[in-house]
Chains A and B, each alone.
Chain A
Amino acid sequence: MADAGSLINWSLLALEPPGWGGVMLAGLWQSLQIAVGGYGLGLILGTGGAMGKLYGGPVAKDLLEVYTTLVRAVPELVLILILYYAGTDVLNQLSALVGFGPVDISGLAAGIFVIGVVQGAYSTEVLRGAIKAVPAGQIEAARAYGMSPVQIMRRITLPAMLPHAIPGLSNLWLIATKDTALLAVVGFSELTLVTRQAAGSTKAYLLFFCAAGVLYLMITLVSNVLIGFIERHYRRGMVEPVR
């Protein structure tokens, strides 16, 4: 029967084995690792993609357009399934071809790869917009000084575009942390799946899902504070946007 006192059994959240707190924190750690790894991989892919889309040849431009279009039009859940199975399959067949036999791919690496590929398409678009916001005259001036493309990138484009890119990139970070939850569907034991297992075996569904919600919310709120610092640092000397 519904009795307020018996509904909430806080000892279930204890860190030691009868409680599930430790397991959930381990899941949170896995989620964070995937989010950081996937976001980093996405940034690398996105920088390359944005460069290719803006300065690449016609073929590179078109192929990148296909990549970003496909990823942005298909649900993340479907992409994660395709990439998860296809990625591990291709890697296994490659290693069989070379003669190593089947390799054991850790769920962590597969998760980072999957989130990274999805994030790469989004950050390509964000970074492309930010680079286009850099006044063309500044890049022309750098070229007139005789800088190489890499030098222009390092000295002018990257620092000048960062203030424009940070709002979009920080949103992508928050999306990356939430997208890790989708890996629960392919059976990777990150926070959401661990929570479901804990809830299923103790029947305290509301307690565990709310606890996981609080953990995710903590990630978001802490990230927001850090993003605020970063944004203020990189926007120094710029005109405040009109609100």
Chain B
Amino acid sequence: MSDETVAAMALTELPTRKSFFKPHRIVLMAIAAILVFCIVWFMRWDWVPKYSGRLAYGVGVTLLMLFVTSVLGFLLAVPIGLVQVTGPWPLKLLARSFCTVIRGTPLLLQLWLLYYGLGSLFPQFPEIRNSFLWPYLREAWPYGVAALTLSFAAYEGEVMRGAFAGVPAGELEAARAYGMSRFTAFRRIWLPRAVHRALPTLNGETVLQLKATPLVATITVIDVYAVISKVRQETYITYEPLLLLALIYLCLTAILVVAFRYFERRIPTRGA
């Protein structure tokens, strides 16, 4: 996925404060306020207090999923990107076909393949049943983490490939001329510069990853989406839980975007 597509799919810009209040905006905001009031007043929200504890737990699971899979996926993406730039051809081919396969199939299918496919295959092997991993492999969440991690690694690996390739060769040559070893040059120059280049896209990819997390609810992981589905089943209310869910994701996205912008500002750049 190119940078523009990531930017088009994931919200990475929030409205600026400057010139926000204009005459027509005030009218629009009044209409929006009336709409929100109608939603709050005329729709049923009495179930919220009863489920608030479970909702908070669900949000926690969603955020944990997002954090763990993004970090693991990024750690996997660095070698995938690097290998595609400098690796020997078998590794290059392997990394490229991994990216193509993961990016060419829907995440839902990968998730079900891991959960139902591997999950039905593992019990047939007594070695796995007797190993210390078995109590975890019987749960759903390891499969969710695995699928989301692989997906993030594939998309981000492609971004990191571009970022590694885009670091000016002169900087790496300068590092070598200073007598740094290849690894030191990688640690001090190549990786930080590549991460810096990839940071705006990383922001978008993380928002996309947040938007992918509700899929784990289809394999019985209890995240916020699963909690809302439970509410809908138990109370027979159709729309209100979904609206609340949309609001929750809206807030999570906004928090992510603000956090990333903070990190981007922390990195000094030469102003043009």
Contact = CB atoms under 8 A, between A and B. Distances in A.
Interface of A: 1-2, 58-59, 62-63, 65, 69-70, 72-79, 81-82, 85-86, 89, 122-123, 125-126, 129, 167-168, 171-172, 174-175, 178-182, 184-185, 192, 195-196, 199-200, 203, 205-206, 209-210, 212-213, 216-217, 219-221
The list of the 8 closest CB pairs from A to B, nearest first, reads A181-B106, A220-B104, A125-B8, A209-B113, A171-B5, A75-B211, A206-B117, A73-B253
B5 A126 contact: yes
9 contacts: A65-B15, A73-B250, A73-B254, A85-B238, A122-B8, A172-B8, A195-B112, A213-B109, A217-B100
Given A167-B2, A209-B117, 4 more contacts: A73-B250, A73-B253, A181-B108, A206-B113
Contact of A205 (B22, B28, B120, B253): B120
Interface string B194-224: 0000000000000100111111001000000
A75 B214 contact: yes
A175 B10 CA distance: 13
Contacts of B63: none
B109 A192 contact: yes
A243 B64 CA distance: 38
B8 A58 contact: no
A205 B116 contact: yes
Given A167-B2, A168-B4, A78 B242 contact: yes
Given A75-B212, A181-B106, A185-B218, A168 B113 contact: no
A181 B218 CA distance: 12
A197 to B, nearest CB: 12
A203 B105 contact: no
Contact of B109 (A81, A86, A125, A181): A181
Contacts of A65: 15
Contacts of A199: 116-117
A150 B207 CA distance: 37
Contacts of A125: 7-9
Contacts of A180: 106
B260 to A, nearest CB: 14
B121 interface: yes
Nearest to B124: A2
A200 B120 CA distance: 11
**Highest count of chain A CB atoms <10 Å: which of B9, B10, B15:** B9
Contacts of B9: 72, 122, 125, 175
Given A2-B124, A59-B28, A85-B239, A75 B109 contact: no
B95 to A, nearest CB: 17
B1 A171 contact: yes
Given A1-B124, A192-B108, A199-B116, A62 B28 contact: yes
B107 interface: yes
A180 B118 CA distance: 24
Nearest to A75: B211
Contacts of A171: 1-2, 5
Contacts of B242: 78, 81-82, 85
B132 interface: no
Nearest to B165: A243
B11 interface: yes
A217 B101 contact: yes
A84 to B, nearest CB: 10
Given A171-B5, A217-B101, A196 B125 contact: no
The CB with the most chain A CB atoms within 10 A, among B15, B104, B210, is that of: B104
Given A62-B25, A213-B105, A216-B104, A2 B249 contact: no
Given A77-B215, A205-B117, A213-B109, A129 B249 contact: no
